[in-house]
Amino acid sequence: MSQKKKKKGRTNKTKPSLNTFSEKNLQELGEKYLRLEDFAEALAVFKELLRRNGRDEWRQQLARAYQGRIDRLAGKGLVKEALVMLDSMEKRCPGAQCLDLHLELLLRAAKYVEAAAFFAQNRSAISEELGMRAEAMFGALLLAGEEGIAAALGPDSPVVHYFPAAGSALSAFCRHNDVEVEQALKSIPFRSPYRDFRMLIKGMMLLATDPDAAGNFLAKIDSVSPYWQLARMFEMAGGPLSGIFSRLQDLSPSMRRLLPLSLGINEQEMDFLFRLREAAQDPFKLYHVIAAHGKCLAPARQNALLLRLLPHCGRKVEFLLPRHRHLPKEQLSRILALASELDGEGDISVEFWDDVLQRIDLARPENHLQAALILRYQAALMRRYDDIFYPADILKKLEASLQYDPDDKTAWLTAVKLAGLFDGKKKNNLAAQALTQMPDDVDILIMAIENAAERSAFKKASSLTAHLLTIDPINTRAKELLVETQLAHGRKLTLQGKFDLAVREFSAASPQSRSALYKGRSLLCHGMALLCRREDEQGLSLIEQGRKQAVSELSALLLTSLEARLMQMNNAWKKQFDGELRQAAGQKKDRDEILRLSGWTEKFTGHHWIALQECLPCLKKYFTCVDALQWSREEGMLICQAMCRAEFVFPLEKLSTALLKEWPDDPEFIFYRVWAVIRNGKRPGKAERKLLERAAEAAFLRHDYKLLDRIEDLFRFFPWHEDEMFDEDDIFVLPRKGRGKKKKRKENADPAPRQFNLFDID
Amino acid sequence: MKTPFEILGVDETADDQQIKKAYLAEVRQFPPERFPEEFKRIREAYEKIKTVKDRLRYLLFDTRVPAAEEIAGLLLDATAKKRPDEERFRVLLARCLRECRIFHKDLGDSNG
């Protein structure tokens, strides 16, 4: 049996009765309680004093005690108790000024009609500021349909006077009649109790079309306005979708309770909304939220969303797909293909796309475009995983796609490029087919010209260039190609001993291009041709003239060395020109020159690049201190690429280190730094490995698989310690691209088992 | 998340002409200088389904994952953006006035 605990607290037994105190002592005690803000005790003391002697001084002290007590009760939310106390105060202390307090308590207690009557009765005695706020409140209550307010306020009140206009404005607003709204609002003066209501309606009218302007109106509604909360609710609900979840989070509990009403949704939909917010950016969680609670959406929409989320669920897709068995088989294969791709399994994705293709009825011409697009998509995937797939296999996909849809320029260009990697004849055939298919396409023409020039078919290249320039007379690449073709033809004729014809080609080339790469170039070639004929004096004079036309001294000397190789000059000349170039490379560094020369290393290809590679060591000195200059990220990248191609290893290490100080997380700069360290013969350490792991992660996140491949190649230079093998937190696990095991496939080993074969879609 | 077809208000079987017509109508309604965000959305939708190839590409390969906020948008677009009817407005205002008690915080300062 439990014993009832005796309630703790003050009891009369321990406290002496007040009537035993003298007046003086009581006064001291009352004042002490007031100082200590013990208003309940102060009330008892001053009541006792007033009982003994009704002095005004004590009445005022009693009023102070009452006010303190009322405040405390109201602060605790005991508004009705505070009102009762206020009533006692007014009876016991008739002179105390408490009209404002009374009105506020009535409003807080939601005794609106009583408050309105009290306000009407005491309007002149209530403070101006509270009066205005109370009137705004009564206006809002009238609009909310609160009964009895108008009668309590009386017909002379501005609240009642302007209510019909405000009501008309509201009614017109809800009926989307903005003209009528404007007219109604015009009849409400600025200083009326409906001022904030005007702002609210004006803002809400603009919410759907101009949220910024709407925000300006709504922001004018003060936080003490009766419309403030409503304005925030509508602003939150009608504002832009982005950020709606954070806006929901910012809501106070009371506002959250009003949310379904303000959004116009039911509780179930509200629950769905908050579940969506929790699932945030996790596709798997989102899938489940939509599957379980998405009935608030239309069924077709729910289904479409689920299908869209499936490929993002990674390996979990295999558990989810059986729910969608009703889908056509090719749809299932398509989802699996996309899921594999997003999961980093490009080769498996290609196989699933094959499944999709097999299920397409290719006898029907309307399906041809779809097949072509899938084949091209496969080819693009295979190119991304070029360590697994042969170029010949990729090319087969592209060729097949071009059979179904021959009007795709990009596919033709890619096919030609791929064929060039392993079969020159096939490349020429494809280039010719592309040209037949699209004879007037600028890019196809440029490709055909480059291809013809590569094969030394200069006449063909010239005629194609002429055709290209009739289509696009200001095409700079066409002009460059024309000069390149003429110079190449001239060099060929020189080597064949057809000097006059060669000079004619060189002369024709001179005015065509304004590019820095070709300035003075024809004179250099002409001069070299004279040197070949042992007309040294004239030859050197022409070379000097050509150099003067060049964009800079260093460029001129580099181009001279380059042309000496392209014209197959003897070693003595090459040595002389290289010496001049090496000497000039010691001069002061110029930003533009460094950028120009760096750009050239990217421009030259084929035997031109081989010739340039021979000249580049002479320039090494020029690049040694580039790290001392300031570069933008793009400039730094260009120079790093150039130095990597030219194998200026030491300057590259210095430059990449300097650039990493500014862009510490840039994966490309990290790659160049580690590459340079390794190529400098240094043993890379833990710091380099950590850097490289970071770069690999960044490259993967950027889907830069080429860079990822290059980074991965560098990892083999690192010492591998057994104790580090299982340090999973420390080692970045390379993104699963299935390298290694799949390299076997390229060598015609058994195909790797499919990842998603838990249910049979055949 | 609305599909480009829904943004432009066309059927998935619409042809190039119909799509262009719908796009131009949308642009007239939301010109870029006044509605840059809306215009951007319309333009992106149009680019995705402009030609038959684009449409096929979108239907076959588009893997953009719908953000949770976009999905919420599908629910709210039909309701939150719409103006409330008079009854809902009145009920909401009444509840705001009752629940929020705007006179609460000034009470301590009043009537000294």
CB < 8 Å to A213, chain B: none
Domain count, chain A: 1
Average pLDDT over residues A30-42: 84
How close is the nearest chain B Cα to the Cα of A254, in Å?
7
More confident residue, A17 or B31: B31
How close is the nearest chain A Cα to the Cα of B30, in Å?
9
Of A175-179, A350-354, A526-530, which has the strongest mean pLDDT?
Answer: A350-354
Do A258 and B103 make contact, defined as CB atoms within 8 angstroms?
A: no
Do B56 and A370 make contact, defined as CB atoms within 8 angstroms?
A: yes
Residue A544 DSSP class? H
In angstroms, the CA A465 to CA A489 distance is 14
Any idea which residue has 């006692």 for tokens?
A: A88
Percent of chain A with pLDDT over 90: 32
Residue A307: which residues within 8 A CB-CB, separation 6 or more?
A: A324, A327, A331, A335
Structure token pair of residue A384? 């991304």
Of the candidates B63, B72, B85, the beta carbon closest to that of A244 is on B72
Of the candidates B83, B95, B108, the beta carbon closest to that of A75 is on B108
**Residue A584 located in a structural domain:** no
Q: Does B40 touch chain A (CB under 8 A)?
A: no
Whole-angstrom CA distances from A582 to A394, A618, A620, A650 are: 45, 5, 8, 18
More confident residue, A724 or B38: B38
Q: Could you read off the pLDDT of A365-376 as tens digits, one per residue?
A: 999 999 999 999
Q: Are A205 and A181 in contact (CB under 8 A)?
A: yes
Average pLDDT over residues B95-112: 56
Whole-angstrom CA distances from A526 to A380, A455, A534, A575, A612 are: 45, 23, 13, 19, 19
pLDDT above 80 for A23: no
Do A290 and B71 make contact, defined as CB atoms within 8 angstroms?
A: yes
What's the residue count for chain A? Answer: 762
**Residue B23 located in a structural domain:** yes
Domain count, chain B: 1
CA atoms within a 13 Å half-sphere pointing along the CA-CB vector of A91: 7
pLDDT above 70 for A746: no
Q: Could you read off the pLDDT of A93-133 as tens digits, one per residue?
A: 877 667 888 888 888 888 899 999 999 998 888 888 889 98
Q: Are A308 and B66 in contact (CB under 8 A)?
A: yes
CB < 8 Å to A227, chain B: 93
How close is the nearest chain A Cα to the Cα of B33, in Å?
12
Q: Could you read off the pLDDT of A540-569 as tens digits, one per residue?
A: 998 998 888 888 888 899 999 999 999 898
Structure token pair of residue A435? 């040209």
**Residue B29 located in a structural domain:** yes
Average pLDDT over residues A700-706: 82
CB < 8 Å to B72, chain A: 241, 244-245, 273, 276-277
**Residue A719 located in a structural domain:** yes
Of A84-88, A444-448, A641-645, B25-29, the least confident: A84-88
Residue B62: per-residue pLDDT: 92
Q: Could you read off the pLDDT of A481-526 as tens digits, one per residue?
A: 888 888 888 999 998 888 889 888 888 876 666 677 788 888 899 8
Residue A36: per-residue pLDDT: 82
pLDDT above 50 for A761: no
**Residue A95 located in a structural domain:** no
Do B68 and A143 make contact, defined as CB atoms within 8 angstroms?
A: no
Whole-angstrom CA distances from A697 to A146, A342, A416, A609, A700 are: 63, 16, 33, 33, 5
Residue in chain A nearest B6 by alpha carbon:
A301
Do A240 and B91 make contact, defined as CB atoms within 8 angstroms?
A: no
What single-letter amino acid sits at A477? Answer: R
pLDDT above 80 for A729: no
**Residue B109 located in a structural domain:** no
Of A4-18, A20-34, A90-104, A376-390, which has the strongest mean pLDDT?
Answer: A376-390
Residues spanned by the domain of A706: 624-725
**Residue B34 located in a structural domain:** yes
Mutual angle of helices B86-100 and A228-238, in 10-degree steps:
130
pLDDT above 70 for A433: yes
In angstroms, the CA A269 to CA A420 distance is 59
Query: Which of B63, B77, B106 is best to mutate for the A interface (most A CBs within 10 A)?
Result: B63
Q: Are A379 and A344 in contact (CB under 8 A)?
A: no
* A·B CB contacts under 8 A: 180
CB < 8 Å to A147, chain B: none
pLDDT above 50 for A346: yes
In angstroms, the CA A228 to CA A120 distance is 25
Determine the straight-line distance between the first and last CA of chain B, rounded to whole angstroms: 56
How close is the nearest chain B Cα to the Cα of A171, in Å?
6
Residues spanned by the domain of B84: 4-100
Average pLDDT over residues A375-400: 93
Structure token pair of residue A277? 């917010």
Any idea which residue has 């076997």 for tokens?
A: A744
Do A308 and B101 make contact, defined as CB atoms within 8 angstroms?
A: no
Do B94 and A146 make contact, defined as CB atoms within 8 angstroms?
A: yes
Residue in chain A nearest B72 by alpha carbon:
A273
Average pLDDT over residues B83-94: 86
Q: Does B17 touch chain A (CB under 8 A)?
A: no
How close is the nearest chain B Cα to the Cα of A675, in Å?
35
Mutual angle of helices A56-75 and A99-108, in 10-degree steps:
20
Residue in chain B nearest A229 by alpha carbon:
B96
Residue A282: per-residue pLDDT: 85
Which of A66, A54, A135 minimizes the C-alpha distance to A98?
A66
In angstroms, the CA A458 to CA A464 distance is 10
Average pLDDT over residues A390-397: 95
In angstroms, the CA B24 to CA B38 distance is 13
Sign of CA dihedral A642, A646, A647, A649: negative
**Residue B105 located in a structural domain:** no
Helix boundaries (H) for A438-570: 442-454, 458-471, 476-495, 499-509, 521-532, 536-549, 553-566
**Average pLDDT along chain A:** 84
Q: Are A427 and A451 in contact (CB under 8 A)?
A: yes
Which of A317, A434, A439 minimizes the C-alpha distance to A761?
A317
Q: Does B69 touch chain A (CB under 8 A)?
A: yes
Residue in chain B nearest A125 by alpha carbon:
B111
Q: Does B60 touch chain A (CB under 8 A)?
A: yes
In angstroms, the CA A193 to CA A133 distance is 8
In angstroms, the CA A353 to CA A377 distance is 9
Q: Could you read off the pLDDT of A151-161 as tens digits, one per residue?
A: 999 988 999 99
Residue A747: per-residue pLDDT: 42
Q: Does B108 touch chain A (CB under 8 A)?
A: yes
Q: Does B28 touch chain A (CB under 8 A)?
A: no
Residue A241: per-residue pLDDT: 67
**Residue A678 located in a structural domain:** yes
More confident residue, A257 or B109: A257
Residue A741: per-residue pLDDT: 39
**Residue A535 located in a structural domain:** no
**Residue A742 located in a structural domain:** no
Does pTM surpass 0.80? no
pLDDT above 60 for A448: yes
In angstroms, the CA A44 to CA A59 distance is 12
Q: Is A672 exposed, middle or buried (0-12, 13-18, 19+ CB in 10 A)?
A: buried
Of A171-175, A218-222, A397-401, A679-683, the least confident: A679-683
Average pLDDT over residues A135-163: 92
Do A308 and B96 make contact, defined as CB atoms within 8 angstroms?
A: no
Residue A343 DSSP class? T
Q: Does B14 touch chain A (CB under 8 A)?
A: no
Of the candidates A75, A110, A227, the beta carbon closest to that of B98 is on A110
pLDDT above 60 for A739: no
Of A54-63, A115-124, A421-430, A587-596, the least confident: A54-63
Do A108 and B82 make contact, defined as CB atoms within 8 angstroms?
A: no
Rg of chain A in Å (alpha carbons) = 43
**Residue A564 located in a structural domain:** no
pLDDT above 50 for B22: yes
Cβ-based neighbour number of residue A95 at 10 Å: 9
Do B106 and A104 make contact, defined as CB atoms within 8 angstroms?
A: yes
**Residue B110 located in a structural domain:** no
Residue A211: per-residue pLDDT: 77
Residue A721: which residues within 8 A CB-CB, separation 6 or more?
A: none
Which of A377, A397, A386 minimizes the C-alpha distance to A421?
A386
**Residue A431 located in a structural domain:** no
